[in-house]
Amino acid sequence: MKKNIAIKVENLSKQYRLGEIGTGSLSHDLNRFFAKIRGKEDPYSIIGQTNDRTATAESDYVWALKDINFEVEQGEVLGIIGRNGAGKSTLLKLISQITAPTTGAIKAKGRIASLLEVGTGMHPEMTARENIFLNGAILGMTKKEIKAKLDEIIDFAGCQLYIDTPLKRFSSGMRVRLGFAVAAFLEPEILIVDEVLAVGDAEFQKKAIGKMKDISAGGGRTVLFVSHNMASVINLCTTGIVLENGQITFNGSANDAVDCYLKNSTKTSNNRKWDLVNAPGNEKIKVTEISIKESDGKTNFTIDSKLTLSYKLYTQIENATLGTTIVIKNSKEDIIFSDGAIIASDRNSKKGFYFVQVNFPYKILNSDSYSIDLIVGENRRYALLNEENILNFEILFGGNIKHDKKLPGIIYQELNWSIKHSEEV
């Protein structure tokens, strides 16, 4: 079996210094230098701990990535998923040559173009046309290449009218469109994309995703895609890797990678507990526990899951009227719904714990990732507590439902249909 490998990553590691760089860096440099001239190993490369946010610092150095190995075939779309700080961005930075690895090597065939941000280097005082050339050149195109594609780029961005207007007069959405349009016509052999699709309006996102699919399918190009949006990973990628604490914990098909990631992430963010000192909130009110559970105890939520959200509040306030509200948002930060209830009415709140439990409607939330904001207010007027994204959960496509494929829509809804047939008018 002949495989055409586009990128090969071997034993890749990246070490970062913890704490403030600069303090003591001169002495570390000198230590390194003396070790080097005595022919010894770098005294700081031996130590260093794994990239685990929850651990406390034991040494000054941390491995943001440790011993990463994987291969990407030509034409493959690889999704890289992982929690915040798992090392995704570091990996992309290494592959796009923004910073050098500490050990290991990356080997690639063809030109690599990275899209860690759209419109990099654009200058607000210059016109859209000038900026297309500047941005294209920064991304590695020659003037000739840009000239040949100029009309297509302008067309894709949809800004014919403003082509000779300075960029500073553009809305931020228009700037993003322009930036993405340039990148879309870049035609590198390897394209690296970091969640840039999270911007722009729906129509443009669709266009951008379609374009990315074309890039990999039509041109045999390889795409590396990092996203928190599981739906677009499944939609776009053929394979996936999951990063956790700087190491690869899964490498396989995109669907399996997403499943694996969700299984691991739900353990921690579906159910959160704090002790009274560290609990989020303030002196007046704190959240000490919050969890979302399925009635059958399943950890994978699907569209038909009957979900119950429960949380525990600790309050010091007496003789107040307390109310609580939850806001459910999807991965695009659209608010799906919000609702609230009175915890203590008629100014009779008491010190201590309040246990809140609320059942979600089922077969409403479409498959997506969701986050919950928790708000507690006093006397219907003051917000005592507003914890954004206090809990995250994912709804997978599946369960006992009518459809076998994810349907578009912010919510999921099965309707009652009635159909009659007649041969006459």
- Report the interface residues with another protein, using CB under 8 A: 2-4, 8, 16-17, 21-22, 25-26, 93-112, 114, 116-117, 120-121, 123, 125-126, 130, 133-134, 137-143, 166
When the beta carbons of 153 and 234 are compared against another protein, the nearer one is 153
Q: CB neighbours of 335 closer than 8 A, spacing ≥ 6?
A: 327, 328, 329
Task: Give the shortest CB-134-to-another protein separation in angstroms.
Answer: 5
When the beta carbons of 143 and 403 are compared against another protein, the nearer one is 143
Q: To which residue do tokens 């266009």 refer?
A: 207
What b-and-e string marks burial along 309-320, b requiring 16 or more CB atoms within 10 Å of the CB?
bebbbbbebeeb
When the beta carbons of 78 and 344 are compared against another protein, the nearer one is 78
Task: Give the shortest CB-103-to-another protein separation in angstroms.
Answer: 6
When the beta carbons of 141 and 384 are compared against another protein, the nearer one is 141
- Radius of gyration of the chain measured on its C-alpha atoms: 26
One-letter identity of residue 300: N
Closest CA relative to residue 117, chosen from 133, 95, 146, 93: 93
Segment holding 222, helix H or strand E: strand 222-226
Task: Give the shortest CB-191-to-another protein separation in angstroms.
Answer: 12
Sign of CA dihedral 115, 116, 117, 119: negative
When the beta carbons of 192 and 287 are compared against another protein, the nearer one is 192
Task: Give the shortest CB-71-to-another protein separation in angstroms.
Answer: 12
Task: Give the shortest CB-174-to-another protein separation in angstroms.
Answer: 20
- Tokens, residue 376: 């507690």
Contact 78, 237 (CB under 8 A): yes
Rounded CA-CA distance 123/126 in Å is 6
When the beta carbons of 74 and 235 are compared against another protein, the nearer one is 74
* β partners of residue 307: 294
Task: Give the shortest CB-105-to-another protein separation in angstroms.
Answer: 5
